[in-house]
Structure 1
């Protein structure tokens, strides 16, 4: 099964503040915030939601197609993706830089971030029909956070081409109105949200949880250290606990890694619970590293951790998915 991943491609600037943001917020002056945090470290890494997911799929021995918009400063990043096993179908901007994600994380893993769209704003000009005419038709398309008009266009194209798609509206829900939010969700084989986005999705669409479930195949809600909820119409919610981290380092990109692990397993016909467990395992590896793409999968070690967290039978069931991991 081949997966096309559409969405943001960016360079991440990741800073660490050793204190707590909340210690510097004055409750009765939140309408006039002017703060500066002195960071101890700064890491510049490859990132972007779509690129993070595509790299995760490639690490699990799939060959995804990454679809997005970048700037002329992307040459080195593009070569690295190719060497990692990611095929690319990219629109290159003549005037804008590749998107930038600037994020500061405090001692409690709270984050304050700014995202500069840059070349991503031109993703709305990408035609999936044209892309797939060159790369071949995928079995599933992930609509990850991107230029909002691009997300709406790609979703509409998936419907017109009768292509299954997964919806991951994420932080872009804040930019969408009711009709647009509904358009991104309706008909999705998989819908991904985190706990906050779950509430925001209900507010934006004006739908109840049951109405959302009537529109999608499976709704996957990630809940941080509490694990994942798997929801389907007319079925009980299933809960998959997270895989415990040895030493959490940076939460940036954890959700993207979960999506990669989940989709890699689902692409090979695995049950939802198994797919979620592999997603949780990959998410923990990212949590334990700096940078969204700089983790390493060591199959033997990861299977032992899966066995400890979920039982030896679950590790045995997932072992074939890691056989080809270098």
Structure 2
């Protein structure tokens, strides 16, 4: 199964300030703020929704095609992704902008001062899917994940025109997109991914009821954090899969991306929907207990043991028979 993952590619620069921001602010001088904080720690993490999903698919043995825009500073990140099975040949490199970057400083009371630089991501709309399909021998699924809004619309419309099945994953962009744009991104999707809050946003922005959304997509995958996932379609009864229990929660960033990777990998190897969701939930649990979205390491035995503990021996045996990690 040839999967192209379109969306954001970014790096996170995370710093820790040992004091409190509030102690450095002078109430009557807030219009003239000029502050510099000496930080104790700096962590540079690889991220971006598309890169996270592609990394997960690659870690499970696939060769997903990453589609997005980066700067010339991407080369080290490119090597990392390629070493984990990701095809980066279709990543656009900007001539004058850096890769998207999130810079955040957190104080000892968990207050944050942050900036997001979209950079090269703004050039994602220049990428066309046709040449990618020609290079790879066709596309069985295109994931349209959060990105520059124009790029999201363009990729979706290209999929419809060319007949590429696509997965709509508007995610955090739902908060800023107009209703008509959201309707464009969702209509005709083979798969729609939302979490509980995004489900409410999607219905509000589109004006569609729950059933009206279902009529417009093939399968609607709704994640509910610790409550698990519900998968609905007009073609079958709802499928409910619980989250993996007893996981040490360290950092939730990237958990949803990992679920998508595991779920789509499961479908690609012809697992039933329930089993695919169990794979997704298991992969998500590894990210939840890890600092960083791409810092987990998969081992066949460890993965299978976790599936068995969460979903039983039969599930573990069926899933392990497909694993190539």
Question: Do the two structures share a fold, i.e. TM-score over 0.5?
Answer: yes
Instruction: Count the aligned residue pairs.
Output: 315
How do 1:149-298 and structure 2 match up within 5 A? 149-233=150-234, 235-298=236-299
Aligned partners of 2:9 and 2:317: how far apart in 1?
A: 35
Distance change (3 Å), C-alpha of 1:138 and 1:111: farther
After superposition, the Cα gap between the structure-2 partners of 1:244 and 1:305, relative to the gap in structure 1 and judged at 3 Å, is: same
Q: Could you tell me which runs of 5 or more consecutive residues in structure 2 were left unpaired when the two chains were aligned.
A: 20-32
Output the aligned Cα RMSD: 2.9
Superposed CA offset, 1:254-302 (max 9, x none): 1100000000011122111111100000000011111111101121122
Deviations 1:11-41 (A, max 9, x none): 022457999xxxxxxxxxxxxxx9x999875
Over residues 51-107 of structure 1, what are the superposed CA-to-partner deviations in whole Å (9 max), with x where a residue is unaligned?
111010011000110011000111111122122211111111112110113457899
Give the Cα–Cα distance (whole angstroms) in 2 for the partners of residues 253 and 110 of structure 1. Answer: 21
Which has the larger displacement, 200-209 or 171-180? 171-180
Aligned residues of 2:239 and 2:273 also touching (Cα < 8 A): no
- Note the C-alpha offset of 1:5: 0.5
Q: Distance in 2 between matches of 1:272 and 1:241?
A: 13
Between 1:210-219 and 1:81-90, the stretch displaced more is 81-90
Partner of 2:2: 2
* Residue 81 of structure 2 corresponds to residue 63 of structure 1: no
SS of 1:230 mapped into structure 2: strand
Cα distance in structure 1, aligned partners of 2:115 and 2:291: 18
Match of 2:80 in 1: 80
TM-score (norm 2): 0.88
Residues 218-260 of structure 1: CA deviation (Å, up to 9, x unaligned): 1111111111111112644322111124321111111100000
* Aligned equivalent of 2:28: none
Give 1:110 deviation, angstroms.
Answer: 11
Using the size of structure 1 for normalisation, the TM-score is 0.88
